[in-house]
Amino acid sequence: MMTLKEAIELRHSVRSFTDEPLSEEVVAALQEKIAEVNEEALLDIQLVQDEPKAFTGFKARFGRFSGARNYLVLVGPECKELDEVCGYFGEKLVLLAQQLGLNSCWVGGTYRMVAHQFRVDMGCKLAAIIALGYGETQGEPHRSKVPEQVAAEYATAPSWFKRGVETALLAPTALNQQKFAFQLAGQREDGTPLVKATTKRGAFAKMGLGIAKLHFEIGAGDTAFDWA
């Protein structure tokens, strides 16, 4: 199986899918990871299969989707952290999907809620969905900011921090806004470096921050650091 770094390099949003159903092995691997993520993050992420209606109708017309019939619903307790947590853990599932040979697209707005396909318990909220399937194409790299635009001290930063920033710039963000920023924020008494991640306001900016933080961690690799 490809590494997470390879999955990050290869992942691009794909909105057109073939009608090939998800294979049994792929579904089993996804379900196992979904259960793990739900337990760790107290989320209620669910996989919906063979349900094309979410991508039809008025709003979906703006999303340019075709053939999309499988998706993850990112559901969790309504709280101010929900978007960031869904971003971080949802992207773990996106990268696993890429490793499993699937393509994906985060969908914040251009979908329709379809009754009886998944549950949203009392006190919970559906934060976003993620379309999954076998893409007609592998997608295209997005236009990106340069590292200095999201990390002012990039040029003089240690190499693990640089790799973190570069990997974050490969992350999906709503409308490709890349509103996140990273800065070195000193160190703990034991010498562990601290990194501060922030985001400007924008559509799904907190979700994008969670996604970018996961990418940063993967890019930084084995170097131990903590979020400030």
Ligand X SMILES: Cc1cc2nc3c(=O)[nH]c(=O)nc-3n(C[C@H](O)[C@H](O)[C@H](O)COP(=O)(O)O)c2cc1C
Give me the residues that bind ligand X (CB under 6 A), please. 12-13, 15, 63-64, 105-110, 128, 139, 142, 172-176, 204, 207-208, 211
Q: Which of 100, 129, 131 lies closest to 33, judged by CA?
A: 100
Cα separation, 124 vs 35, whole angstroms: 17
Cα separation, 165 vs 146, whole angstroms: 10
Q: Are 128 and 108 in contact (CB under 8 A)?
A: yes
Residue number, 4 or 184, with CB nearest to ligand X: 4
Residue number, 109 or 221, with CB nearest to ligand X: 109
User: What is the closest distance, in whole angstroms, from the C-beta atom of residue 143 to ligand X in the complex?
Assistant: 9
Which amino acid belongs to residue 162? K
User: What is the closest distance, in whole angstroms, from the C-beta atom of residue 12 to ligand X in the complex?
Assistant: 4
Residue number, 89 or 204, with CB nearest to ligand X: 204
Residue number, 63 or 77, with CB nearest to ligand X: 63
From start to end of the chain, where are the E strands? 46-48, 70-77, 103-107, 124-133, 180-187, 193-199, 226-227
User: What is the closest distance, in whole angstroms, from the C-beta atom of residue 91 to ligand X in the complex?
Assistant: 8
User: What is the closest distance, in whole angstroms, from the C-beta atom of residue 78 to ligand X in the complex?
Assistant: 17
